[in-house]
Structure formats: C-alpha cells, structure tokens
Amino acid sequence: MNIMPNRMDRGFLKYQKEFEDKSLEVLRSGWYILGKEVASFEEEFAEYTGAKYCVGLASGLDALWIAFRLLNIGPGDEVLVQGNTYIASVMGVTMNGAIPIFIEPDEHFGMDVNKIEDKITNRTKAILITHLYGMASRMDRIVEICKRYNLRLVEDCAQSHGACFNDRMTGTFGDVGCFSFYPSKNLGAFGDAGAVVVNNEHLAKEFKIFRNYGSEKRYYNKVVGANSRLDELQAGLLRVRLSHMKELTEERLRLAERYSNEIHNEKLQIPTTIEGATSVWHQYVIRCDERNCLVEYLKEKGIGTLIHYPIPPHLAEAYRYLGHQKGFLPITEKLSDTVLSIPFYNGMTEEEQTYVINALNTF
C-alpha cells in the first residue's frame, strides 16, 4: 500500500459538488475582490472563533507581519517566540525590524511558560504564541504574564483552527489571532489565504485599511499599506469548508484517538495535550530517537512522512545574522532531530490507518 503524508484531494472530494457550485457562482458573479463572499466569510469566521471581528488577508504570513506593524512593534523591540515554530512566525517579527527572542518548548510542543519571565527585558514588547500541530498552548499562564508585564499578545493560529484552552478558542486570548488558510491547513483554501481575528473595532478597521494599500476611501491613502486582500473565490470556498468544520475536526479527533490508542512501541513517543487544552490535530507528531532509520523503514513500506521542522528558525541561514549557534536551544534542536509527522488527513480510511499502525508497531 502507498500512503502519502497528506491527501488534500480527499478533503475536496468529500464536498466536491458544493465547492464546484460555489466556484461557478463566484466566477459568474462578475465581482472578484472584496465583495460579499469576503464580507460573509469574515462574519462567519469571527462567529466561529468567538471574536468580534475578522479581517480576511492574503496569507498567514501577512496576518503575522501586519499584526506586529499595526501594534507598533519595530526596530529595537523584542518579541518572545518559541524556538520550535514554523519560520513564518519569526518572519512576521523580523519583517518589522523587531528581534525574536527564542524560548524553549515544553513537553507538549508549546512555549514553556516557566522559561518566559527570565527573558523579559525593558525592550520586550510582545509574546507570539504558536499553537503548534493544532494543540492549544497554556493560555492561562501566558495571558497572566502578558498582563503583569504589559506585553502585547499575538497568537499564530495557522495550525489551530478550532482548538481551545479552557473552552475558549485560540486566537481570541490576546490582541490579534493570526490564521492561515493555506491548502494543507485544517481550514484550507484552494490557494493562498489568511485572516486575523480581533476584538478591538479600531484595530479591525486598521487591518482593513492596511490590506488595501492603506486606503479607506478609494484613492485616498492614509498610510503606506500592502496589497493583502483575501479574494472572493477563496472566501467563497472557505465558507463551504467552514460550514463543515465541526465534522472535519471531529473526524481528526477520532483519527488521532485511534493512533494514540493503538500505537504501541517503546521506541516511539506519542503526543499528549496539556490539561485544559484541546488539539485539532493539524499534524500527528511522534518522536523517535532513531528517526532517520524509522523514516527509511516506513518509506520501504510505502508510507510517506514529513518532518515539522528539520531546521529550527534560529539555525536557518536566513537568521544567521542573529548570531545563534547550534547548542543555543538544546530542547528545540533535539525536537528537530526526533519529531516525525505520520500520515494524517481528513478522509483517511480505516484500512490506511491500520496499515500505518501495524508498520509502526513492528518497527
């Protein structure tokens, strides 16, 4: 059997007719940028997350860098970021000239809340939390620290659509919740797309102005902005997928539960969530000290895997200028050598999952 790490076609085929009908509707409407699909999606996604406002943007990276820009975080300012995040989180900080200060993760892949306070200086302006692999971080402690030190809080929810901490959805704990709808995300579009959710009306308005060349009224430009608009076609297709998010997330929970119950191999460590947090299982990430061996073994059996992520941002060539050496973040670096994302996607069949479980248990 051949099993790919992810199958985006399955998510399309499941609601094919609805996606095709919506595409034709938008194509035939004659209106393609900033119209009623975007406005409706923004309303529906805000309601889904429990935030007051949502603003559609062109990508998750745009959501991040524009968030820091509008929060006035720039050159000389420090932002605390977990070491084991996707590099886009860090770029959202550095594109504004701010400095990322890396914090080691805990056992559940989230920022270790006990290591935050040591890193706070008088230049610290914000904390950026990534709910990695779909798992909500310890938001009670993080919100408390932000309040105590008067720090801004930005959440990178590119992997955590629908994940909650103490029944509150990720993205709604701080100043801005940043989302990506890249096709492989839990709520995926059919191209690039992103959004922010905020509770502050003024900030929501600033995002709307910024995404459209800084213009509020046509040809009247208030600030130097960007072109970062969510388009009508993607917004329409996202509305279709969003209407099925409950069942899509439940399916992921069932698949994850089966993996957790049936993978038994002392060489493999399965993922666990923290108390109060839920995971929407963007990835199912196991750990193995003999990971490279495991990858080869699974490949021979036709099972594809992915590594999220093989090079931590502080060791990326792009961030050589920060001057960090190997050994600077031992826990993060150990994770990048041992984590493995096994096949996991909506529409995964029982047979496919059985095959993966058997392979893992006989490694």
- Which residues are near ligand PLP by CB under 6 A? 59-61, 85-86, 88-89, 130, 156, 158-159, 180, 182, 192, 194
Q: Which residues of 198-230 are buried (b: 16+ CB within 10 A; e: fewer)?
A: bbeeebbebbbbbbbbebeeeeeeeeebbebbb
Residue nearest ligand PLP, CB atom distance: 60
Q: CB-wise, 134 or 343, nearer to ligand PLP?
A: 134
Find all residues with CB under 8 Å of 62, minimum gap 6, and list them: 194, 211, 226, 228
DSSP state of 188: -
- How far apart CA 354 and CA 69 sit, in angstroms, is 47
Question: Which of 81, 360 has the CB closer to ligand PLP?
Answer: 81
**Looking at beta carbons only, is 78 or 192 nearer to ligand PLP?**
192
Question: Which H or E run includes 288?
Answer: none
Q: How far is the CB of 351 from ligand PLP (least distance, A)?
A: 29
Closest approach, Cβ 106 to ligand PLP, in A, equals 17
Nearest distance from residue 299's CB to ligand PLP, in Å? 24
Work out how close the CB of 162 gets to ligand PLP at its nearest, in angstroms, rounded to a whole number.
15
**Cβ 222 to ligand PLP, closest distance in Å?**
25
- In the complex with ligand PLP, the residue whose CB is nearer, 302 or 310, is 310
Q: Which is nearer to ligand PLP, 308 or 353 (CB)?
A: 308
Q: Specify the 3-state DSSP secondary structure of 203.
A: helix
φ, ψ of residue 212 in degrees (nearest 5): -120, 55
Note the Cα 351 to chain centre separation in Å: 29
